[in-house]
Structure 1
Amino acid sequence: MVDVTTRQTILIAGPTASGKSALALRLSGETGGVIINTDSMQVYDVLSLLTARPGPDDLNAAPHYLYGHVAPSVAYSTGRWFADVESVLGMPELSDRPVIFVGGTGLYFRALLGGLSVMPDIPADIRVHWRQQEAVHGAEKLHAILTEKDPVAASTLRPTDSQRVVRALEVFDASGRSIIEWQKESGRPLIDGEAARKVVIEPDRKWLGERIARRFKMMMGAGAIEEVKTLLSLGLPNALPAMRAIGVSEIAEMLAGRLSVEEAAELATIATRQYAKRQMTWFRNQLTGDWERLSYP
């Protein structure tokens, strides 16, 4: 079991392109700490540029963990990430090193601070059924079904959030209980939230929007198109999380000749800005209390 009381811990949350990784590197240099990925898309090994994973210079500057360690064919979950973090924290060679968690996935931070709810095992036939239903009918249809089966859970989810809608349906069918009931039965946190330094970046929205546009243009010229080609060559189902990374569908449409490079970049930039807005709203509402707020620029 990991001792959560003695380790110096820093949490850095914020929307995409807000400068989280740069801050993590600076604090790593000041503390000698190691950096642990807290972003659900940066775990995938093919999508380095498209998910803005730390580059070679950053990786050489400080030890990084849980970046690019998952095949895109895997539907990686918060539970898998939680277990992977526990393994990293349990490494003897890191026992006296500060740890810096950095990323944009709110549920990962919630799990760190509050523990992870115990969830029922999902039989394979139920999992396959709902993922096939989502692929055929789409997330909004499944959200309507969830509203009939589990209206409480449905009221907490966006109709377009296919991954969580499918998860809620799986849990309900497997257990007969709402996923909300399961989530109330939280487990043991991995860190001492009261002792940790907790930082959330709140950038100026106009500044962030311009930064997102510049970054995606750079990605397109630096190899993001080749990453998507590699991903598409694997023939994976569209329902997998890696296939839903922002930029994948837009670049795929470009490769199919249905969008120009400029159109694909513009659509992906718009989607990224919308995602950043959702992240900022979540952090503003959920990361309250003793979280430090940093405003950029």
Structure 2
Amino acid sequence: MSNADATGAILIAGPTASGKSALAVALAERLGGLVINADSMQLYRELRLVSARPGPEDEARAPHRLYGVLPAAEAFSTGAWLGLVAAALDAARASGLRPILVGGTGLYFRALTEGFAEVPAIPAEIRTRCRSLAEDQGLEAVRSALAPLDPDAAGRLQDLQRLTRALEVVLATGRTLAAWQAERPGAPLLPQDRVRTVVLAPPRAWLHARIARRAELMLSEEGIAEVRDLLALGLPATLPAMRAIGVKEIGGLLAGAIDRAEAERQLVVATRQYAKRQETFFRGQLAAWPRLDPSGVSENALLDQVLAGPRG
């Protein structure tokens, strides 16, 4: 696909519960667009409600790609997502549809516009060893194993999954993850494509109210059944899908370790913390993207603001 073929793409980032998906669907309806997923949890087919994936009604309003396309048993990389999204962009071009990429995974958007170095495949033995260490002994054990091999990552990273990934890479390749990431190939969407970009940046109180409503929805019979079915698969806790917000909290409810009120409280707290991390990433890594407040405006007014914004 040539870079010119992707011209006209619209990229919508924002924290969880900020209304990104609804905006994307409305834009697709107005423009004749294809909605493409840029959220790592919405890739998993077992996590429709837990990940707030678009429902059948939204999918009937506009075509969607890359939603629910992976089993929860699969660990998926940013590089692999780039391969899927390049094919989705080609599909949009071939169909005469405007690509509208939407999600909360900031790294996907950076890779899409800046490129991403794909690390060679990690041998199964090393992957199993590292993930067993993470699962059995936790974050500090992984940090200690990583420190002599990649002291920068060991000191900087605070997330168990990212620390484990850094350990896997340096053990398998002899090079740090940062060294691999410094060798970024060309991005599917480059500055000359003049895409429209936007970060939804709602007021905290407005976002927190929506997060509370989402927690209630996740604790519906359907949400609880979804987590019950996922846990019945017996998958390792270190897999990305098993670390989705809602799995641990509803799992505790199902196990009888907490009651419904505590599960709801934990869901709200975890989602707020995640939204804060997303906002920090967007401010630091997508600083040039225009920011729009979706609160207090009509859907049509918000669409007009997106389309009136600069192309960059």
Q: In structure 2, what is the equivalent of residue 87 of structure 1?
A: 87
Q: In structure 2, what is the equivalent of residue 248 of structure 1?
A: 247
Question: Partner letter of residue 4 of structure 2?
Answer: T
Structure 1 residues 32 and 156: alpha-carbon distance in aligned structure 2, compared to 1, 3 A threshold: farther
Q: In structure 1, what is the equivalent of residue 276 of structure 2?
A: 277
Q: In structure 2, what is the equivalent of residue 223 of structure 1?
A: 222
Is residue 2:124 matched to residue 1:124? yes
Structure 1 residues 237 and 13: alpha-carbon distance in aligned structure 2, compared to 1, 3 A threshold: same
- Partner SS, residue 213 of structure 1: helix
Q: 2:171 aligns with which of 173, 177, 182?
A: 173
Q: In structure 2, what is the equivalent of residue 38 of structure 1?
A: 38
For 1:257 and 1:167, the matched residues in 2 are separated by: 32
For 1:149 and 1:140, the matched residues in 2 are separated by: 15
Q: CA RMSD in A?
A: 1.4
Question: Partner letter of residue 67 of structure 1?
Answer: Y
Q: 1:190 aligns with which of 179, 188, 191?
A: 188
For 1:81 and 1:92, the matched residues in 2 are separated by: 16
Question: Partner letter of residue 182 of structure 1?
Answer: W
Give every structure 1 segment of 4 or more consecutive aligned residues whose post-TM-superposition deviation is greater than 4 Å.
none
Contact conserved, 2:218 with 2:246, CA < 8 A, in 1?
no
Question: Partner letter of residue 38 of structure 1?
Answer: A
Contact conserved, 2:92 with 2:99, CA < 8 A, in 1?
no
Question: 1:171-209 deviations in whole A, cap 9, x for unaligned?
Answer: 101111111011000012111334000000111111111
Compare the two structures and name the one with the higher helix fraction.
2
TM-score, with normalisation over the residues of structure 2? 0.90
Question: 1:146-191 deviations in whole A, cap 9, x for unaligned?
Answer: 2232012224311xx1211111111101111111011000012111
Contact conserved, 2:199 with 2:291, CA < 8 A, in 1?
yes
Question: Partner letter of residue 32 of structure 2?
Answer: G
For 2:118 and 2:263, the matched residues in 1 are separated by: 40
Offset, 1:221:
1.8
Identity percentage of aligned residues: 49
Q: In structure 1, what is the equivalent of residue 310 of structure 2?
A: none
Instruction: Could you tell me which runs of 5 or more consecutive residues in structure 2 were left unpaired when the two chains were aligned.
Output: 296-312
Q: In structure 1, what is the equivalent of residue 201 of structure 2?
A: 202
Instruction: Could you tell me which runs of 5 or more consecutive residues in structure 1 were left unpaired when the two chains were aligned.
Output: none
Contact conserved, 1:5 with 1:191, CA < 8 A, in 2?
no
Q: In structure 2, what is the equivalent of residue 76 of structure 1?
A: 76
Q: Aligned pairs, how many?
A: 293
TM-score, with normalisation over the residues of structure 1? 0.95
Map residues 25-174 of structure 1 onto 2, 5 A cutoff: 25-91=25-91, 94=94, 96-158=96-158, 161-174=159-172
